[in-house]
Structures are given as structure tokens and as C-alpha cells.
Structure 1
């Protein structure tokens, strides 16, 4: 029997080496398949059926009827508009205030870790807790009305914040901004650590003021972080759910309903899971389109600055 060559001896070792990474990522892949990929496929399937949850199976295949129903549903468009309003009025303030706070906390003063923790504390606080807190603050006899009437005499203290679409959206957006500033701050703070100090010093020696240094040196250096923050905040804005559900429950009369609360009502209150799944798919497509557009815009800006 011929002796094995060195190449033949190396083959099992190479196979083991190639198999090792897959063994490490296999648990993650299994969890991704069970809890992410399978629900997505199941939602796509359910959206094409008149799903009968009582039987545990689809009763009738109706194709794209659920999607056509959503396009013709005024309540769906209202919920989508409210989601867009929430996104428009929460994303820019979170970026501006988050970056401003990160710039202020950039120094290495002894008290800076304490301020960083204080600003980040709302981020790790439960959405349920802060939603109920803001519901109390904006109640008819809440602290906001008291402050606006007694401390700052701007109103008569009788504003019913959560009983009107626009004032309720103000309260919901205020919660979103307050809770999200700390997250944006941490991302920008990490990005600011990588800004070359030599470039800022050179710009200062050339006579650039703080705004010119910020615009020409700081912003280009943190542009990738800016892209990440914007994309994630837009996705989060369209996926607002808990605060709306607990503060207004979509009221009054569905005027503050967002896409996810509308989907939740259709699926779990009306047991219309096929229609709810179609709404979820439509929201996914909308968020995907927004993300692609943002990536394209930021990429074009990066290409222009690199020339």
C-alpha cells in the first residue's frame, strides 16, 4: 500500500479549517433563519391569502387583493402620512441635537463621563415606561399644561394635547426626539474621536473660524457616521409603534394612527392577518426605497468630496 503524499495529508486539515468558520456562524445562521427569514417568507405568503387564523391555515388564495385593498384604504394612507410626519419631525432634531451634544462632550473633562451617561440614559429606558411618562406629562391636567399656564404664561392650561391629531403628534414627536438624542450622540461622539486633530489645527492656523472648521474638516470626516445615523433614524421613524399605541392608541378616531399600529389593529384586533401582512410588506418596501435613495445621495456626496 502506497504511503500518503504530503498533499493528501493536508487535505483533511484544510477541510477542517474551511469547516471551522461555518461551525462558529451556524448558531447565528440558524437563529436568523428561524426568527428573521422564516417570518418574512411567512408574511409574504399570508399577504396573498385571506388568512383564517381560527383554522391555523389560509382559507382562500386571493393574490394581490390585500395590496389593492391597502392602496384604496384611506386609513392606510393616513397612517402612512402620520409615520412620515413623525419621521420628518424627529430625524432632523435627533441629528442636530445629537451632533451638538457630541461636540460639547468631545473634551476629556472629568465630568464628561457623567454627562454622557445622563444623555444616554433615555436610550436604554423602556419605551413603555417613557411612553406612559409622556402620556402623564401631556395629560389634560399634566405638567406640560401646568408649566405653560403657570410658569410660562403661554396658554390657559386647558390644551387637550392627546385629543387632537396635531397636538398629539407634537407630544409623540417630542418623546421620539428626547429618547433618540442620546443614541445619535454616542455614534457621533465615536466618529469625532477619529477626526484628525492635525487637520483642525492646520485649519485654525490658516484663520478658519469654528464654523469653517466644522463644515470643512469635521463634517467630511464623520460623513460615514452621518450616513449610518440618518439611515437608521429614518428606518426607526417609519417603525414607530409603542409610543403611539400607549399614548393615543391611534386616537382620536384613528387620526394619530401610524402604519404599525394600523397593521397591529388589522391583524390582532380584526384578526385580518392577510391584510396586516400586506401592510407590513408595503412598509418594508417603502423603507427599503428610502434607504436606497439615502445611500445613493450620500454616496454621490462622498464621491464629490473625494474628487
Structure 2
């Protein structure tokens, strides 16, 4: 019962309230006197070029951060799987960015990619990284990958501990090389963890916010706006809470659809592996 109450108060009620607000021209100063507009806020979103741009940027961020986090996280987990004296130290070092504040690392990367920052100094270039949509997205994606590798590494490392050594030894005795053992033994054994990591990273990719807000503030000219920063601007800068709530509902639907598709596809593969 306590858990159900907390879930209802802090999860269900805010979701219902956001859905209600999305149907109104909700002005925080007018409160309950806000005007009911039905689905006008949703129609407005579909006709808003900035909404589609922010959705595209969120998708780009997801596409260019999720695969590297999976590949690099798994590769590092494989390297740290063997017992070695320095293994705990390397685990801590790779996981440290995960527990570091998003605000701190966002400001750090902002200075690294500044016109006179370390990146330009090392490359010997004068690229204005944060003043162009694509180069700014490169910097934002680089931060996302760097900060997230440690999390996926720890999940994969935990999953790898459960891979039976006897299966790998039997495959090696049968003449299987490293890649064949990895593909036929390791991957099927850690597939549930792989599914969990993929789903969570995709959800996190669509919910990117702090790094964009602090590194570019959606600039230049809104070109690096993502769904959450666009929603934040509409709700808290323009005080257009009805439109902001509609954007939040649309984001929830996008994440829900992607999650359902992933669970369906990967669970089918899991069933095939088990069969």
C-alpha cells in the first residue's frame, strides 16, 4: 500500500494532470480559468517546424549515442572480465563519469569544445563547434557516449559473470575461435541484459536535456533543440503550459512506441534463442 500510494501521487497523478493540461490553453496566472481547446495543442505541434526539428535532433542523438555505448561498454566489460590486480581501479575509473553531475560535465565539455578550447588546440583547428548545428550535435553526442559507457559496462560486466565457463571451454575444445565463442556462447547468455541496456539507453536518448541546455541552449537559432529543451522553453520561458504538456505527452508516446517495438523484436529473438 505505501508503494502504491507513492506511485499514485508522484507518477499517476502528474501524468493525468499533464494530459489534462495538454487539452487547455493553460496559463499559470489564470489557473482553473484556463480555456479548453481540445486537441489544438497537438495539432499545433504537428504543424510546428520546431517540433519536428527537435524530434529529429532527439532521434539523431539517440542513434549516435546508443550503439557506441553498447559496443564500447561491452568491449570494456569483456576486457575487465578477467581477474587482475588493477581491475577494481579500472572499473571505478570507467564508472566515474556516470556518477558525475550532468551539470559539471556539460560545462566541462562546453569549455572543451569552445572556440579556444582544448579540442581545437589538440586538432590545430579554429572550428566553432557550438555555433553550427552538426558540429554542436557532435559535441553533445560525444558527451553522451563518454558519460554513458560506464553504465552499460557495469550491466554487461554483471551479465558476463553469469556466463558458464564450461560452455566457453567446451566451445574452445571444439575448435571455436574467439569470435565464434563470443557469437554463439556469450551473446545468447547475456541477451536479456542486452535487451535491458538497449531499451534503457533509447529511453535515455530521447530524454536528453541538461547537456543541450547548458552547452548550446538549443542554439544557434534553435538548430540543436531537442524535445525536452523545446518543451522546457514553451512551458517555463513562454509560460505556455498547455503546449508544453502536449509536447510531454507526445514525447511519452514516442518513447512508449519505441520501447514496445524493441521489446517485441528482441523478445522474439530471445524466444528463438531459447528454443
TM-score range, shorter chain: over 0.9
The alpha carbon displacement at 1:304 in A equals 1.8
TM-score of the two chains, using structure 1 as the length reference: 0.89
Structure 1 runs of 4+ aligned residues shifted over 3 Å read none
| Distance change >3 Å, CA 58–CA 228, structure 1 → 2 | farther
Equivalent residue, structure 1, for 2:34 = 59
Equivalent residue, structure 2, for 1:130 = 105
Q: Does 1:242 align with 2:210?
A: yes
Q: Match for 1:302 among 242, 264, 270?
A: 270
Q: Match for 1:222 among 161, 178, 190?
A: 190
Q: Secondary structure at the match of 1:52?
A: coil
Q: Match for 1:89 among 47, 64, 79?
A: 64
The alpha carbon displacement at 1:58 in A equals 4.6
The alpha carbon displacement at 1:55 in A equals 2.1
Query: How big is the alpha-carbon RMSD for the aligned residues of Structure 1 and Structure 2?
Result: 0.7
Q: Does 1:187 align with 2:142?
A: no
Gaps of 5+ in 1: 1-25, 150-156
Cα deviation per residue 1:134-164 (whole Å; 9 max; x = unaligned)?
A: 0000000000000001xxxxxxx21000000
Q: Does 1:148 align with 2:148?
A: no
TM-score of the two chains, using structure 2 as the length reference: 0.99
Equivalent residue, structure 2, for 1:33 = 8
Aligned residues, how many? 275
Equivalent residue, structure 1, for 2:53 = 78
**Higher Cα Rg, which structure:** 1
Equivalent residue, structure 2, for 1:12 = none
Q: Which one scores higher on RCO, CA 8 angstroms, separation ≥ 6? A: 2
Cα deviation per residue 1:238-268 (whole Å; 9 max; x = unaligned)?
A: 0000000000000000000000000000000
Distance, in Å, in 2 between the alignment partners of 1:261 and 1:106 is 39
